[in-house]
A and B are shown apart, each in its own frame.
Chain A
Amino acid sequence: MKSMMKILSRYVLSAAGIALILLVINFVVLAVWTIQTGQISQKNYSVEQLADGLTKSNGVYSLSSSAADEIAKRYQWAMLLDNDGNVVWSKDLRGDVPLNYSVSDVASFTRWYLNDYPVYAWQRPDGLFVLGGAKGSVWKYNIEVPQKVMNNTLVWIPAILILNGVAAILLALLFGMRLFHSLKPLAKGIEDMAGNRSVELATQGILGDLAAGINKTSAQLVKQEAVLNQRDNARTAWIAGVSHDIRTPLSLVMGYASQLEEDPELSQFHREQAGIILRQSERIKTLVSDLNLASKLEYDMQPLRLNRLALAPLLRAVVADFLNSGLTDNYTVELTISKDAQNSLVTGDEELLKRAVANLIGNSIRHNPNGCVINVNLEKSLGNCLLYVSDNGGGFAQEVLERLNEPQSHIDLQNHGLGLMIVRQIVKAHGGTTEFHNLPGGGCRVILCFPICATNVSC
C-alpha cells in the first residue's frame, strides 16, 4: 500500500505541475505578444504624430509628405474638424462621410464607427483630427473597468492563479483516487501472490485485463506450488517407505549376525565374519536413518522439539559418550568451553543438536583411521554461540568442501557427505549457520553459529 500511496502522490503532483506549466506558457505567450504588438505600434506613426504632420501656415493646411504616405498606406482618409463640427481640411475623404458633425455625432464615432469606418481622433488646438480606416478592418470595443477593480488586479491575478492550481490539484486528486481505487485490489492481489496466497480478483472495469492476468498467474502459481509440494511429499514419503521396508530385513540380518557372533560353538574366524556383517548392517541402519532425517529436514517435515537449552552440558554429554564408547588411544577428544559460554542458552531440539555434534566428531574419527586430535570449542560472540569442531587429520577433499559450503546444493549421496549435510540442515533448522574449512596446517574445522536466546526472555 505504501507504493500505491507513492504512485497517487506522484500522480497528483505531476498533474498539478502540468497545470502550472500550461499557465506559465500562456502567460509567457501573452507577454511576448503584448511586447511585440507594442514594438509594431512603436515603429509606425501614431495618430498623434500624424495629427502633428498637419500644419497650418497663412490659413492654409499642409500635410507633411511622410504623414501623407503613412495615411495612404494604413488608412483611407483623414479630416480636420473645427470646433463647430465642420470639416476644414480633408484628404481622400469618401463621399459617404458627412462634412458636418454635431457634438453627439463626434461622441458616437469616437466611441464606435463613422458610417462603418473605424476612425481615430486626436485633439488639436484648432479642432479634431480624424483618421478613417478601411471598412471592416478593425474591431472596436470599448472596455471599461471600475477603478477599484483595476486597483485590485495585483490581488486578483495571483488569487486566480492559486485558484487554478487548487482546482488542478483537486481534479488530479479526484482522478488519482479513482485510479488508486481501481489499482488497490490489483496491488493487494500482487502482494497476496508474493505471500503465496491464492488470488481471485474481480475482472470488470478498465483494469479488468490486468486483474484477469493476475488471477491467471496466481492460479498457475498455486498449481505449481501444489505440484512441488506433492513431489516433495512423495519423495519424503518414498524415502520413509523405503527405509521402513529396509528395517525389517535388516532386523533379521542384525539379529542372526549378532547371535552368530556370540555363538561359542563357531570358530573365532566365523564369529569375526559374523561381527563384520553386524557392523556393516549397523552402518546401513545409520545410513537409512540419516537419509530419512536428511530428506525430512530438507523439506521441513522434521518436527522440532524446541526447548531452551544450554549447549555446554550438551557438549559435555556428547564428548563423554564418545570417550565412554571405547574410543581407541590414537584418538583424543578435547572439549574447551569459554567461561562466558558456560551458561549460554539456545533454542533447539536437544536430540538433533547432539546428533549434529556427534556427526562432526564421528566424521573426524571415520575419515582419520590412523587417529587424530579432535577439538571441540564453545565460545560466545555478539549474541551468537560459536561451536568449533576441528581435527588435525587429513581435512576435506576440495570438491567435498565446495559442496558443503554451497548453500544451494541439495541432498547428495556422493562421498558419504550425508552426515555433514545433516549437520548443515540441523543448524539451518535452528536458524544458525555452518562453515566448513580446511586448516592450513592440515586438518579441518567446522564452525556452527547459533543465535543465543536471551536469558530472561522466553523464546
Chain B
Amino acid sequence: MSLVMDMNNVFDCKILIVDDEPQLQTMVSEILRREGFTKLITAADCHEAREMFNLEKPDGVILDVCLPDGDGFFLMREFRAVSAVPVLFLSARDEDENRLLGLGLGADDYITKPFLPRELILRLRAVLSRAYFPLVLKQNVKPVFCLGEIEIDLNSGSVTTKKGQLTLTAKEYALLEKLYENRGNIVTGDSLCRAAWGDDLYGYENTLMVHIRRLREKIETQPSAPRYLLTIRGLGYKLTGVDSK
C-alpha cells in the first residue's frame, strides 16, 4: 500500500492482465490504454502471472478464472497471501458465478464474458477506487443541483428558493439523495424505503407518501402538480428535470 502515496488517480495503477487468449489480452490492453491506463503487464498462464506478480508488484489484476495451468481462484488466494491487491475476475462460465459469490468478493468484482469495454472500465475503476481511494470518495463533495429555480445542496441538505432557505429532514434527505442518484429513472418504492428505513415498501406505503408530500412542498413550486418529483403509479417515483451544477 506504500504505492498509494505515488498515485494520484486510478490511471497510475499498474495493471496485470492474465488471460490465455492472446487476442483478448491485446484487446483488454487496448481498452485500458485508450481509457488512460499506462502501466500494463500481461501474462498468459498461472506460472507467468506468478512471476509477473512478484516482479512487477501490480496494483490491480484482471484475472481469467479458467487458465490452462490452473484456476484463477487459487491464484488469487496466492496473491492474497502476500498482498491485498484488488482482483477483477473475467469469467466465461455461468457456473463460476456461484463460486465467485461464494468468495464474498470484498474489494474484488467479476465480469462475465462477453463484456462491453465500458463495463470493464467501470468495474475496474470501481475496484481500484475501493482499494486505493476510499477516503477520497468519502470526502467527495456532494452534488448541488437545481430543479427549475430551486437549488438543492446535498452537502448541507438545504433547499434554496426565492423565498428563502429550508432544511431537509434526515428521511427527506435520504429519499432525495436516492432519487438524485437515479435521476431520470424510476426508483421503486422498495428502493426508497430501503434507503430511508432499511425495509421494503410493505407497511411503509403511507409513511412514504407523507414524506414524499413534505419533500414536494420543499422542492416543487406547485406541490399539488409536481413537475420534478413524479409519481409512477404502481412502481415508485422519478426525479426529472435535474439541472446539475
Contact = CB atoms under 8 A, between A and B. Distances in A.
B75 interface: no
A252 interface: yes
A4 interface: no
A253 B235 CA distance: 37
Nearest to A314: B190
B147 interface: no
A317 B190 contact: yes
Given A254-B116, A259-B117, 5 more contacts: A252-B27, A256-B27, A320-B232, A324-B186, A335-B235
Interface string A205-246: 000000000000000000000000000000000001001100
Interface stretch (A85-93, A159-167, A285-293, A434-442): A285-293
B66 A337 contact: no
Contacts of B21: 248
B94 to A, nearest CB: 5
B24 interface: yes
15 contacts: A247-B114, A251-B27, A254-B116, A255-B114, A255-B117, A258-B116, A259-B117, A292-B94, A312-B201, A316-B189, A317-B191, A323-B232, A324-B182, A337-B234, A342-B202
B20 to A, nearest CB: 9
B93 interface: yes
Interface string B178-189: 000010011111
Given A240-B93, A259-B31, A335-B235, A313 B188 contact: yes
Contact-residue size bin, chain B (C-beta under 8 Å from the other chain): 35 or more
A334 B234 CA distance: 8
Q: What does DSSP make chain A's interface, helix, strand, loop or mixed?
A: helix
Contacts of A253: 114
A250 interface: yes
Contacts of A281: 114
Interface string A415-427: 0000000000000
A356 interface: no
B188 A316 contact: yes
Interface in B71-128: 92-95, 98, 112-118
A288 to B, nearest CB: 9
A248 B23 CA distance: 10
A336 interface: yes
B12 interface: no
Contacts of A248: 21, 24, 92, 113-114
